Structure 1
Amino acid sequence: MTRGRPGLAGPGLPAWGQAFPARLAEDVRRAAAFVPESRPGPAEPFRVVVTGESVDIPSRVYEEEPGECPGPGLTGTQRLILHCLYSRHHDGHVRQRHLEALLPAAEPWVVPYVIQQAGEYVREIQEAIRRGLPGIAVPHSPQRRLYGAFIVRNAEFFARTERRAVSYWACYHRAEYPVFGASPGGVLMAEFRAAATECAGTAWPRHTPRPVAAALTPPCAAAARPPSPGSRP
């Protein structure tokens, strides 16, 4: 069950303020002082749950980067907030630069900003995520637990992310990577799914193409295949 957001109701909160947990309201206000106003405002948000609280993250933002980003005099948390915001920027180069600053963070509220980009179309960003999350492939690592716990609590969001990753692969990357699972996005989806499986203690549902060997083997062919010598009774 998610809780309300009284901490984000006060004055001085930007339109994108509900992209962060309520306990960060004051940090959001301080970070917002460095963000130029934008027309148009943030694009339609997507909702996820972070530590039991719903947050609404903009699909895209159009605010220009401040002259000194992330602003001088900000705390580490406030800098992370700015990096999260600009990781949703409409310019892919800006998105990647700020995303790379997020990858070492172990804050649960940073995770959806990373996973969202893993399902988008920029291959260089997907490759940066793979480089920046070395622990995601390590069983029982803190990083794997962090991402697995988020996915388990946001199953629908992750399913949409997987489907979107497949769609973008089919449109933009299939010529280079004929098999989805071999593409940067495909590898990331598999690693995230393994993290969720470890956290949930059961196989996490797949919303991407099956591995090519399994996909190319008709069930009847597998059933008709003669047993190997070692498997005979």
Structure 2
Amino acid sequence: MQKSWAVARDSDALVAAFPSRLATDVRGALSVMPISELSPLEPFPVDVRGEKVVIPSRIFSDEPHARAVGHLSGTEQLILRCLYSRHGDGRIRQRHLERILESDEPWVAPFVVRLAGEYVVEILEAIHRGLPGLDVPGSAQRRLYGEFISRNPSFFARTERRVVSYWSCYYRWKYPVFGTYPGSALVAAFRSAVGEQGGVLEPRHTPRPLSARDPLGR
């Protein structure tokens, strides 16, 4: 009984990670997810077009069998990919992230932006590679991410701070100048997308751009 209650609780938590209109699709996706001994961790709230969703920072379920995933609808598969982009294993996160980047669904955006503020540099590179339109004025991707971040300025501010923190802690030896770190270009592109949508953000939380006066960008 106790385990059944815990499974139901975890299922409800994952349903809350998506807009309410998708509840049936989310439960369809969850039907193929193996049960995990560990519950989802540290949920974070964001606004998706006026509706609050609460997304787990980490999940720990093993990946489902490909045959089971193949029986899901396209929306259910996209939901499943989003959830596994929150997995505790970085390789699993990246593999599923790469399958959601082409989506134009607004509820995918928070899963992608959150990953921009994490420590796996290969994931940062995958995001920029998978969002070529992010650097193209007027593109659908710029509109999608600009609109989402405009609605979630505090969330983006935390993302910027995390990008700088992980760079300083883990990658400064490889990228002495912040502007050369993959996360720098990514958050700059997100910030530019917001400006194109007329959104207002908090002041930059990243080191200032390079200049002739200070070539190290300090």
Query: TM-score over 0.5 for the alignment?
Result: yes
Give the alignment partner of residue 216 of structure 1, picking from 191, 214, 217.
214
Give the alignment partner of residue 192 of structure 1, picking from 187, 190, 214.
190
Give the alignment partner of residue 31 of structure 1, picking from 29, 32, 35.
29
Map residues 42-191 of structure 1 onto 2, 5 A cutoff. 42-68=40-66, 71-191=69-189
CA RMSD of aligned residues (A): 2.0
Runs (4 or more) in structure 1 with deviation over 2 Å come to 10-15, 201-205, 214-217
Structure 2 counterpart SS, 1:108: coil
Report the CA distance shift for 1:203/1:58 in structure 2 as closer, same or farther (over 3 A).
Answer: closer
* Structure 1 position 15 matched with structure 2 position 13: yes
Query: Is residue 14–residue 32 contact of structure 1 (8 Å, CA) maintained in 2?
Result: no
Structure 1 counterpart SS, 2:108: helix
Query: Is residue 44–residue 57 contact of structure 2 (8 Å, CA) maintained in 1?
Result: yes
In structure 2, the gaps of 5 or more residues are 1-7
Query: Is residue 134–residue 190 contact of structure 2 (8 Å, CA) maintained in 1?
Result: yes
Quote the offset at 1:182 in angstroms. Answer: 1.5
Which protein, 1 or 2, shows the higher relative CO under an 8 Å CA cutoff with sep ≥ 6? 2
State the Cα deviation string for residues 78-129 of structure 1 (Å, max 9, x = none). Answer: 0000000000000000000000001000000000100111111101000011
Instruction: Give the number of equivalent residue pairs.
Output: 208
What TM-score results when the alignment is normalised by the length of structure 2? 0.90
Report the CA distance shift for 1:201/1:29 in structure 2 as closer, same or farther (over 3 A).
Answer: closer
Partners of 2:95 and 2:189 in 1: how far apart? 23
Quote the offset at 1:65 in angstroms. Answer: 0.4
Percent identity of equivalent pairs: 58
Quote the offset at 1:15 in angstroms. Answer: 3.1
Report the CA distance shift for 1:28/1:203 in structure 2 as closer, same or farther (over 3 A).
Answer: closer
Quote the offset at 1:44 in angstroms. Answer: 1.1
What TM-score results when the alignment is normalised by the length of structure 1? 0.84
Query: Is residue 119–residue 162 contact of structure 1 (8 Å, CA) maintained in 2?
Result: yes
Partners of 1:202 and 1:214 in 2: how far apart? 28
